[in-house]
Amino acid sequence: MIVFQDVRFRYPGSDAFALDVPELRIGEGEKIALVGPSGSGKTTIVSLIAGILSPERGSIVVDDVALERADDSARRVFRLRRIGLVFQEFELLEYLSATENILLPYFLDGTMLLEDKTWVAVRELAARCGLSDKLDRLPAELSQGERQRVAICRALVMKPKLLIADEPTANLDSVNAATAMDILIEFSRRDKITCIVITHDKQLLPAFDRVIDVSRFSGLRGAP
C-alpha cells in the first residue's frame, strides 16, 4: 500500500531538521501507530504519505501512485478521494452542520454527486458513532467527543483506502479517546482500510499491528 525508497526531506531554508527514510513499507489493511518524541518527524511522515509535502529526493508510492511525480492538483485529488484525514483539532467548519461537515470532501471535490447511497452512508456512519440525533447541530452545539466523531465520519464518508489520524485523541478525555479509537480500528478492520495513527498514548498501542518509532529516521531519540 505504501512504499518509501531512499526518501529525504528537509523544510526549505532550514538545516535544523532532516528526515531520511531508506525504506519503509506498510501493507494494505495494516494498522500502524507512529510514535516518537516531539519534532521527530511523525507529522512530516504522514504529510509525505498524503502528498501534502514532497520529498527532496526518493520515491513515495501510495496505492500504486508515485506521489513525487504528481503535481499539486493531482495530489489534492488523490488525497480527497483515497485518503481520510483526522486531525487533533477536529478542523470542523463552525458555520456548517454536522451533516455538512461530514460531506465536506464531496463539496471540495466538486465532481462527485451526492447520491442516495451517499446519504445512506452518512446515516450509517452517524448511527455507529452515536450522532444520529446530532446531524443538524453546529459544531458549537457539540461536545468535544461528538466533534471528533463528526471528524471521523468525514474521514470515512468517501470510503478511503487509507486513513491517517494525527493525534486524534489528544484533546479528548479517556472515555471519548477510547470510543474514537475503537471506531477507527473497527472501520479499518471491517473495510480493510490501511490505518496510520500518530499517538503519544502508550495505552492505545496494543490495538495496532505494528508500532514504528519515527525517531530512527530523523536521528532524534526519546520516549514516545
Q: What is the pLDDT of residues 163-184, one digit of tens each?
A: 999 988 888 888 888 888 888 9
Is the full-model pTM beyond 0.85? yes
Which pLDDT does position 64 carry in this prediction?
92
Query: Predicted confidence band at 219 (pLDDT cuts at 50, 70, 90)?
Result: low
Q: Does 195 fall in a domain?
A: yes
* Cβ atoms < 10 Å from Cβ of 160: 23
Give the C-alpha separation, 83 to 86, whole Å: 10
Give the C-alpha separation, 69 to 31, whole Å: 27
Q: Does 223 fall in a domain?
A: no
Which pLDDT does position 109 carry in this prediction?
80
Helix crossing, 144-156 with 116-128: angle to 10°? 140
Task: Please report, rounded to a whole number, the percentage of residues in the chain having pLDDT higher than 70.
Answer: 97
Q: Does 75 fall in a domain?
A: yes
DSSP letters along 7-26, please? EEEE-TT--S-EEEEEEEEE
- Tens digits of residue pLDDT in 13-23: 777 788 999 99
Which pLDDT does position 223 carry in this prediction?
40
Q: Does 125 fall in a domain?
A: yes
Element (H, E) at 197: strand 194-198
Give the C-alpha separation, 105 to 160, whole Å: 11
Please give the average per-residue pLDDT across 185-204, as a whole number: 91
Give the C-alpha separation, 111 to 190, whole Å: 27
Q: Does 183 fall in a domain?
A: yes
Which pLDDT does position 151 carry in this prediction?
93
Between the CA of residue 114 and those of 96, 110, 120, 191, what are the distances in Å?
A: 17, 10, 10, 21
- How many structural domains is the chain composed of? 1
Domain limits at 149? 2-218
Residue 57's CATH number: 3.40.50.300
- Tens digits of residue pLDDT in 57-66: 999 999 999 9
Q: Does 224 fall in a domain?
A: no
- Tens digits of residue pLDDT in 66-115: 998 899 999 988 998 899 999 888 889 999 999 999 999 988 887 777 78
Residue showing cell 506498510: 26
**What are the cell numbers at 189?**
478492520
